[in-house]
A = this chain, B = another copy of it.
Amino acid sequence: MPAIPIRYVGGAEGPWRVVRVAPYRGATLPTAPRLAVREGAGEAVGAAWALRGVLSNIRYTREEERRALVSAQAPTGRALATRAALLPIRKSEAWWALAQDTRRDILEEQSRHVAIGMEYLPAIARRLAHGRDLGEPFDFLTWFEYAPEDEAAFEDLLLRLRASAEWAYVEREVDIRLERDA
């Protein structure tokens, strides 16, 4: 897949109602009534904020994990998925200075990031955009989408990831919750 630009735009427009914008670590973002997800390049006029990222190649996932994810995961945009969370994350410079195998070891062998996410498939659909090479304030824009009855499962997933060794390298994280009409 080519690298596809994506923008999460907080403002007056979009199908998602913003239920909550809260800091998890570091500075928060202003709140906004609605959120729109836009693919492709472009400017956001009059928005409270626009977070830019790129849907790009996988960075840590091994072939056997890639196959398991592809066979288990659900796409975004399912009619039943009327709840979502946008978690923009920035990691520390210490993280980015680590070698590839050291980062993989922390992410998976120590933190089970891929394995934990797999346990919640297909209920919790996920989409990851990368912002670091764009000079954006967030390295990752992580998006989760699920049915109302899977909200407790999502909270559980989030607790487990945030308790992991990997999260010691997260220096900024904002927690944005969203709902839309069925």
Contact = CB atoms under 8 A, between A and B. Distances in A.
A101 interface: yes
Contacts of A1: 93, 96-97
Interface centre among A54, A57, A96, by most chain B C-beta atoms within 10 angstroms, is A57
A98 B5 CA distance: 20
Given A62-B99, A96-B57, A99-B65, A133 B130 contact: yes
Nearest to A105: B63
A5 B135 contact: yes
A3 interface: yes
A143 interface: no
A2 interface: yes
Given A3-B135, A63-B99, A133-B133, 10 more contacts: A1-B93, A1-B96, A3-B133, A56-B132, A59-B100, A61-B100, A62-B101, A63-B98, A133-B134, A134-B134
